[in-house]
Amino acid sequence: MLVTGMLLAGLLGTPSAGAASPTRVRSSPCAAFDTVDRQADPQLGSGLSLTMADEAHYVPAGRRPVITLDVPAPVPGATVTYTVSRRGRVLLSRSVAPTQTRPLALPAVVPGAYELAAHLVVGGRERGASCLRYGLGMPNAVLDPAHLPAGKDWGGGGAERQVALHRQLGVSVVRAQLDVRTFLADPSSYDASFGAAAARARASGVRLVVQVGQGGAAEKAAVANGSWGRVVRAIVARQKGRVTYWEAWNEPNFTYFYQGMPRDYVQSVLKPFARAVHAADPRAKVVGGSTLGFNSEWWTQFGQAGGFRAVDVVAVHPYSWAQSWEQSGVVGDLQQLCRIKTAFGAQRKPLWDTESGYKSTVEMGGVWTQADNLTRKLLWERTFGIAPGNFLTEGGWEDWSVIDYFRGVKPAALAMSTLRTVLVGRHFAGWVRTGVPGVHAARFVGRGNTLTAVWTADVTRRIPLRVGHPAIDETGAPGWAAGSLRVTGSVQYVVARAGQPAL
């Protein structure tokens, strides 16, 4: 069996109640956070509110979380009933009288993602409800939202902030976009932001990619009148010695951004772009392809037109929308793309994910499905040797983020941080054959032991274990695996000492 921080009652504390029995309520206010159309946050009412001082509601290891019920004035005859849960399992249930501002009792401090749902009850009737999600970091995690560079924004953070955050979450590719019209109006527009981001990227080992062109009027006109190369050369020359990676157009296989065949893209956009980049900065690298999803016919025509020869890095945007990579066939698509690369002599050119991600809305499965799918995507990319990216890691637009602009960390942020933490100093060493259909077990070695990431495509399986092992769940809770391991779509990490079987 697997005993994790979620299941070990002695570790988390048993569910408990206050003096008053919790009033039954119909639904959790936290559901309002995951609606397709963004809603205002639910309120307790009567001036009451839940507050947490920690930036993004994230508490690093070694500190205790503090959530306060703010009571500007007592509410006579009222009770605030609240529960704290983790992945749907209620860990603590209490009721308090809202007579004064007070810290709320919370479960034992165990790494992971939590949800506090509170209801204001007056005279036996619910008057309002509110939700607060928070996260507790695991030891050695470097996630630190409180000390990121400035630039927090609803539509995605500034370039330097993104570089810092992506490093903390183990994502090695950060893409910034340059608007051609803005540059032509004022060539200095991006100097400060790109300069700061590039310096931080060099210092932290992150690849900063600047994408130029995505179907705007200015770039379309430049391509049409033959000035595209000159425009690109001016852009790159201004950032020479700072920005190394330049991406030619966004998703040219998607008619929203580009109307034309693969050959048109290669001849009219990519090749002039590549010549201009290398002329302006011989040390710079060209990133191209950058397709939305996969289309083997498009990539074959891209290769026939000389596209692979024109780029230094092949890019793809491997979205799978509401499905996981396993369910949507992305794994097979990537294998096919690698074969096409090889057929055109580009097998040694790196493959990068410059944009992909998952929404946290209920239509896409919710916040925990986002965490599962994103973690598995990142693991698959490690096994393929793909440098990973992530779209809108922090923000609010369409709920792609793993750290919400207003609401703080989602489970996916804890999952990404956990993955980064457990894989530091380890490299992919192959797949473990479990003998159980549908179970994926990726083995990573380093740090004097073996770590195996285990998951399924959202089915439940059980695999036998020859010996007991320490285990870590997807968002960082420690546990122990012995006898057999229950495997689901939520990734688990099993650690084996040198000389022990991986599972």
Stretch 167-186: mean pLDDT, rounded?
A: 98
Tell me: the pLDDT tens digits for 136-149?
999 999 999 999 99
With H, G, I as helix, E, B as strand and everything else as coil, classify residue 442.
Answer: strand
Confidence category of residue 27, pLDDT binned at 50, 70, 90: confident
Q: Number of helices and strands (H, E) in the chain?
A: 14, 26
**Sign of the Cα pseudo-torsion (295, 298, 301, 303, in order):** negative
Q: Between β-strands 449-456 and 102-103, what pairing exists: parallel, antiparallel or unpaired?
A: unpaired
206-241: b or e for each residue (b if 16 or more CB lie within 10 Å)?
bbbbbbbbbbeeebbebbeeeebbebbbebbebbee
Specify whether the CB–CB gap between 295 and 253 falls below 8 A. Answer: yes
Strand partners, 267: none
Angstrom distances, CA of residue 7 to CA of 3, 150, 481, 487: 6, 39, 12, 14
CA proximity to 383, closest of 471, 475, 462, 453: 453
> Given a cut of 60, is residue 7 above it in pLDDT?
no
Confidence category of residue 16, pLDDT binned at 50, 70, 90: very low
Strand partners, 397: none
Tell me: the pLDDT tens digits for 227-257?
999 999 999 999 999 999 999 999 999 999 9
Q: What is the pLDDT of residue 161?
A: 99
With H, G, I as helix, E, B as strand and everything else as coil, classify residue 359.
Answer: coil
Question: What would the two tokens of residue 310 be?
Answer: 């024109």
Domain 157-417 falls under CATH 3.20.20.80 = yes
- Asked whether the whole model's pTM tops 0.95, one would answer no
Beta-carbon-side half-sphere exposure of residue 405 (alpha carbons within 13 Å): 15
Tell me: the pLDDT tens digits for 324-361?
999 999 999 999 999 999 999 999 999 999 999 999 99
Tell me: the pLDDT tens digits for 46-97?
999 999 999 999 999 999 999 999 999 999 999 999 999 999 999 999 999 9
How far apart CA 224 and CA 291 sit, in angstroms, is 22
Domain boundaries, the chain: 13-136, 157-417, 428-497
> Given a cut of 60, is residue 308 above it in pLDDT?
yes
**Sign of the Cα pseudo-torsion (482, 486, 490, 491, in order):** positive
What's phi and psi for 148, nearest 5 deg? Answer: -80, 155
How far apart CA 168 and CA 390 sit, in angstroms, is 13
CA angle at residue 251 from 287 to 218, to 5 degrees?
90
- Check for a shared fold between 157-417 and 428-497: no
Specify whether the CB–CB gap between 134 and 408 falls below 8 A. Answer: yes
One-letter identity of residue 152: K
Q: What is the pLDDT of residue 4?
A: 33
Specify whether the CB–CB gap between 163 and 204 falls below 8 A. Answer: yes
Domain 13-136 falls under CATH 3.90.1300.10 = no
CA 98 from centre of chain: 37
CA proximity to 167, closest of 196, 134, 144: 144
Stretch 301-326: mean pLDDT, rounded?
A: 98
> Given a cut of 60, is residue 19 above it in pLDDT?
no
Tell me: the pLDDT tens digits for 92-130?
999 999 999 999 999 999 999 999 999 999 999 999 999
Superfamily for 428-497?
Golgi alpha-mannosidase II (2.60.40.1180)
Average pLDDT over all residues of the chain: 94
Angle between helices 228-238 and 271-280 (to 10 degrees): 30
> Given a cut of 50, is residue 2 above it in pLDDT?
no
The residue with greater pLDDT, 286 or 8, is 286
How far apart CA 96 and CA 18 sit, in angstroms, is 7
User: Sheet containing 427-431: which strands, arranged edge to edge?
Assistant: 2-3, 478-481, 469-472, 492-497, 449-456, 439-446, 427-431
With H, G, I as helix, E, B as strand and everything else as coil, classify residue 380.
Answer: helix
The residue with greater pLDDT, 111 or 2, is 111
How many residues in the chain? 503
How far apart CA 83 and CA 107 sit, in angstroms, is 10
Tell me: the pLDDT tens digits for 363-417?
999 999 999 999 999 999 999 999 999 999 999 999 999 999 999 999 999 999 9
Confidence category of residue 26, pLDDT binned at 50, 70, 90: low
CA angle at residue 311 from 309 to 313, to 5 degrees?
125
Look up residue 269 and give its DSSP letter.
I
Tell me: the pLDDT tens digits for 444-490?
999 999 999 999 999 999 999 999 999 999 999 999 999 999 999 99
Q: Between β-strands 285-292 and 245-248, what pairing exists: parallel, antiparallel or unpaired?
A: parallel
